[in-house]
Amino acid sequence: MRILKTTYEWLEHRLQLEAPIKDAALHPVPRNTASWWYVFGSAAFTLLILQVVTGILLAIVYVPSAGQAWSSLNVLNQQLDLGWFLRAIHGWGSNFMVAVVLVHMAQVFLFGSYKYPRELTWIVGVFLLLMTLGMAFTGQVLRFDQDAYWGLGIGASITSRIPFVGGSLVHLLLGGPIIAGATLSRFFALHVFVIPGMLLAFVGVHVWMVLKLGINEWPMPGRLVERSAYLQEYKNLTHKNGIPFVPGALWKDVIFAGGILAAVVVCALAFGPFGPSGQPDPTIVQTVPKPDFFFLWIYAALAYLPPAMETPCILIAPILGIGILIALPFYAAEGEKSWHRRPVAILALSTVAVSWGTLTHLASSTPWSPHMEAWSSDPVPPQYLRTASPLARQGAAVFQSKQCRNCHSLGGHGGDRGPALDAIASRMTEDQMIRQVLQGGGNMPAYGKNLSPAETTALVSFLKTLHPAGERPATDASQQEAHRFEKPSTLEAQR
Amino acid sequence: MSTEIITPHVQAEAEQGDTVSRRWFLLKLGFLFNGVVGAVMAVPVLRYLLSPAKRDDAYKAWVALGNVESFPVGETRLATYVNPFRRPWDGETAGVACYVRRTAQDQFQVFAVNCAHLGCPVRWFPQSQLFMCPCHGGAYYADGSRASGPPERGLFTYEYKIAGGELRIDAGQMPTLSNTAKLVTIDGVKGNPPCAS
């Protein structure tokens, strides 16, 4: 023990860290901020450390070369002892980190923590969010598989839409004319050196400001922030009703961070690593690329934007979004912090959350994409054929072989790009169906050139049988009218 | 000894009096020197960083897709070639795919596999004579013109020529809305038949 003590004293005499660490640890924080709502920042930091450590462990095996990255990932997954586990931890750690950073941000927003004097802490936090997302995207690229390859293609296509400099920016993004070795190398540099370096530096500044300015007090309705009085009020609060940060608040941080780490381990064990999917061979076009979870909402948004709005939206929306986040603490530096009296803030946050959730959910089923294999793999429900005429059965075969099924479902199977056709005959008349099939429209290709008259007749004959039992098929009301007027005349003629 | 102790005062007074002391001057000179050296170093660094950005012509070369006879008239087939600007460590990413449609004995259309929307690989369905994109549902007719979905235009086409019985295309970079792919004329010119139907 004596040796430990003398060693400590020898080190402390030279490092002189005891005083600043004590100051930081024992600084008083408002009593009610020692709450479970205040644990997300430290959890995000813990996950960052986890990512750095597991990242280094993966880097000692991973080969950042387009020719070998994919094989090295498979070696990690299958041949190295527990390589799969480290990949799983790094992958799940990444998902948890993005999630915890987003929750942290939502909490900070709801508690009005971005107000005076913590504006800069918020702005640095916005950049930390962007860097975290940057890490998630570049990490997806390093998992150099088909999804990574075509994800880069999407990134390049978006970049190419920037006016004037788009082409040059694509070259800089890819490191050359196409996605290849140079592309992976530069994304490796970004993921391993550039972004983590900036991330750690920004985290340092972020935490420094939290220590210097103090943890945001629990917002009370009616207690308004005023620049002239706030610092004194906060000082009174922490001195009259404060507790030392250690252990008063820290114990909850530590327990929550431990819980998050445990959750990462459980997910890694239960679900395993992410990919790699198919090899990054661009000549294999039989692929359905999809981004990672936290970018699914963008994938969905890009499917739903009308073509004319797409480029402006892609280029302006991110700038606008980031601009709003940065402008927020300047726009609302003073005033009410409590969510009880900030209905617009609640509305904004719930709108963002619901939109994000909806788009992510939609992207998990991709109703806008044709199901490439539906035409050859999804059977026509037998009840639709049981009483069908030979012509209608032939039509069902046309329906499958012409890939109609890729976009239209029957009996719940098939694509969702176009409407399900189980009850099409109760919505459209024969003439309307023929017109729709031959001329297309409403986002459906025209099949006029690719269907013979016989095929069209058979197809429509099949479609005409698709209506719920006991429900009459659609009829052309005008034709009925025409018949009604015809009848008297024919009667007259008979007279 | 006493002169050393009063130095800070002297210096402070000198600053107050707007006179520049020798040490401040030397420090500023040092910063200026570093600034000049930094600027000189920045030029090659920037040049190095920006070197991949080139004019489109620099990334175009004629590549062979194989014997003309391997593409039957009236059919659309997937062809592959090796990127002419490949590097030794590109691995399989050096390969590029394209669709070759032979409309007549000496008439071809060569399409990039990349969807004109966001670059995903479109798939050819000979039965329905459509190209379909798996990402956001873009669809194109056999002649490459837009059929439905989010793309704003038809498929990107390569210029082609027939030399020594081989079909060759002018290729080398990923087609996007910002490079020459968008400038391809879509009517009249050989190799780029009408897209619109």
User: Do B134 and A368 meet the contact criterion of CB atoms below 8 Å apart?
Assistant: no
Same domain for A353 and A386, yes or no, is: no
A344 and A441 fall within a common domain:
no
What per-residue confidence (pLDDT) applies to A1?
83
Domain boundary among A301, A333, A365: A365
Chain A residues with beta carbon closer than 8 angstroms to that of B89: 65-68, 181
pLDDT at B182: 46
A470-486 pLDDT, tens digit each: 888 888 877 777 666 65
- Which two structure tokens, joined as six digits, stand for A49? 């450390």
Residues of chain B by 3-state class (helix, strand, coil), percent to 5: 30, 30, 40
Tell me whether B132 touches chain A (CB under 8 Å): yes
**Interchain CB distance below 8 Å, A369 and B136:** yes
What pTM was computed for the model? 0.88
Which CATH number goes with the domain that contains A468?
Answer: 1.10.760.10
How far apart CA A151 and CA A174 sit, in angstroms, is: 12
% of chain B with per-residue pLDDT over 90: 65
Q: Which 329-368 residues of chain A touch chain B by CB within 8 A?
A: 368
Q: Does the pLDDT of residue B184 top 80, yes or no?
A: no
Longest CA–CA span in chain B (Å) reads 102
Percent of chain A whose predicted confidence (pLDDT) is above 70:
97
**Do A304 and A326 belong together in one domain?**
yes
Is A315 in the same domain as A452?
no
Same domain? A268 vs A189: yes
Shared-domain flag, residues A343 and A255: yes
Residue with the larger pLDDT of the pair A332 and B17:
A332
**Is residue A7 one of the residues assigned to a domain?**
no
What's the pLDDT at A475? 82
CA A366 – CA A300 distance, rounded (Å) = 8
Model confidence over A390-424: pLDDT tens digits?
999 999 999 999 999 999 999 999 999 899 999 99
Categorise residue B91: left if φ over 0, alpha if ψ from -120 to 50, beta otherwise: left
Coil, helix or strand at residue A16: coil
Do both A72 and A209 map to the same domain?
Answer: yes
Alpha-carbon gap, residue A193 to A198, rounded angstroms: 9
Which residues in chain B touch residue A282, judged by CB atoms under 8 angstroms apart?
92-93, 95-97, 113, 121
Give me the pLDDT at residue B31, please. 97
Q: Give yes or no for residue A328 having a pLDDT over 50.
A: yes
Q: Which two tokens stand for residue A430?
A: 């024969």
Q: Is A408 found in the same domain as A285?
A: no
Beta bridge partners of residue B169, listed in sequence order: B63, B160
If asked whether residues A341 and A400 sit together in one domain, one would say no
Which ipTM score applies to this complex? 0.86
d(CA A302, CA A309): 10
Q: Which of B118, B120, B133 has the highest number of chain A CBs within 10 A, making it the mutation to test binding with A?
A: B118
Same domain, A286 and A324: yes
Buried b (16+ CB within 10 A) or exposed e, A426-435: eebbbeebbe
Residues A251 and B140: their CA atoms lie apart, in Å, by 60
Segment A128-174, tens digit of pLDDT = 999 999 999 999 999 999 999 999 999 999 999 998 899 999 999 99
Contacts of A162 in chain B (CB under 8 A): 178
Residue A89, both tokens: 């931890």
Residue B3 has pLDDT above 70, yes or no: no
Q: Are strands B160-163 and B130-132 parallel, antiparallel or unpaired?
A: unpaired
Q: Is the pLDDT of residue A494 over 60?
A: no
Q: How confident is the model at residue B196 (pLDDT cuts 50, 70, 90)?
A: very low
Kindly list the residues from chain A whose CB atom is less than 8 angstroms away from the CB atom of residue B126: none
Q: How far is CA A208 from CA A21, A119, A212, A365, in A?
A: 12, 14, 6, 43
Give the Cα-Cα-Cα angle A409, A415, A421 (nearest 5 degrees): 25
Task: Out of A211-215, A363-367, B124-128, pick the least confident.
Answer: A363-367
A63 and A34 in contact (C-beta within 8 Å)?
no
Q: Do A267 and A400 fall within a single domain?
A: no
Indicate whether A454 belongs to any domain.
yes
Query: Span B65-79, mean pLDDT?
Result: 94
The number of distinct structural domains making up chain A is: 2
Cα distance between residue B70 and residue B67, in whole Å: 6
Q: Which residue of B has its CA nearest to A65?
A: B89
Q: How far apart (Å, rounded) are the C-alpha atoms in residues A282 and A150? A: 8
Can you give the pLDDT at residue B186? 42
Phi/psi of residue A379, each to 5°?
-75, 155
A213 and A117 in contact (C-beta within 8 Å)?
Answer: yes
Region A415-438 average pLDDT = 91
Domain, as residue range, for A469: 374-478
List pLDDT tens digits, range A32-53: 888 899 999 999 999 999 999 9
Is A324 in the same domain as A407? no
